[in-house]
Amino acid sequence: MSVEKLILPEGYHSKLDIIETEIAIKLAKDTFERLLAERLNLLRVSAPLFVRPQTGLNDDLNGVERPVQFDIKELGGDVQIVHSLAKWKRLAIKRYGIERGRGLYTDMNAIRRDEDLDNLHSVYVDQWDWEKSIVPADRNMQTLKQTVHGIVDVLRKTQKTLHERFPVLENFLEQDVTFISTQELEDRWPNLTPNERENRIAKEKGIVFISGIGGRLRSGERHDGRAPDYDDWTLNGDILIWYPVLGRAVELSSMGIRVDAPSLTRQLELSGCEERRHLTFHRQLLSGELPLTMGGGIGQSRLCMVLLQKAHIGEVQASVWSDEMIETCEANGIHLL
């Protein structure tokens, strides 16, 4: 595990001590979760920690990450710890009979063993996974933008609540969200990498929603990878903020309108993943058995890190780090839990 990419802010010190930090984490999570459920009309449900591989329910992220897999004696087969619940939630919408305009959310816990660990990335992932029922008329950018506005509003209200309880925490997220596509970013800065483009636009605007992630741009390159079987690549995106503590853009949420049968077929072909058509989830979707939905994930620890103005995600969650990272952080005023 290398610390070469670790960002060490000069003169950094936490604005909250460890007890205040734990209190603030609870306040941030409780406030954001409650406001999100109210704003998006979501019901909290229980969700699995692991699923069977043959169901096709696990999120394969960029297609190269290895899931944690183990056998269960009573089943006589293996299960995988989830990477996310992007597809499971869609089945839950159907099972629970949730109608248009309503949805569900859950606490998702995952292990991503292949993460490159740094200030923002941990092997342990915790996020709010949410999903809403929609109809064909809702599959458009207007629906997506309205939902993004709602999430950003909840973020700002949570920030305000924390500032009222801990005045030392600044209200630095007060801008309106700016919408821009990955193609517009490439057209604007063709000589920059996708990561550099994200940093430039986030620093300029403060809060941005970057849409159109997964497909190839006119240059033939992808802005970023995205699994072909949950988001529609023309109707998805990420919420990013400019984070002054680290001097870089930070992604807080990945979300989108989910694939219907035509977009799933197209994206499986483009990705060379047509064999997935035979998995349980994909067969149901292609045959029209699953409802249309939109949804996303919002990182809990990352949100707490940003709102508590910490320099490392390990300051707000207990995970596993190399001795080198722990020692380097400690020497620079960053105390990992």
Please list the active-site residues: 59, 112, 127, 238, 251, 254
Considering only CA atoms, which of 221, 290, 223 is closest in space to residue 258? 290
Considering only CA atoms, which of 238, 242, 228, 244 is closest in space to residue 299? 238
In the sheet with 231-243, reading across from the earlier edge strand, the strands are 42-44, 103-111, 124-133, 293-299, 248-258, 231-243, 207-211, 178-181
CB-based burial of residue 46 (10 Å sphere; 0-12 exposed, 13-18 middle, 19+ buried)? exposed
- Our CA dihedral for 210, 213, 218, 220, rounded to 10 degrees, sits at 140
Specify the pairing of strand 207-211 against strand 178-181: parallel
Residue type for position 326: I
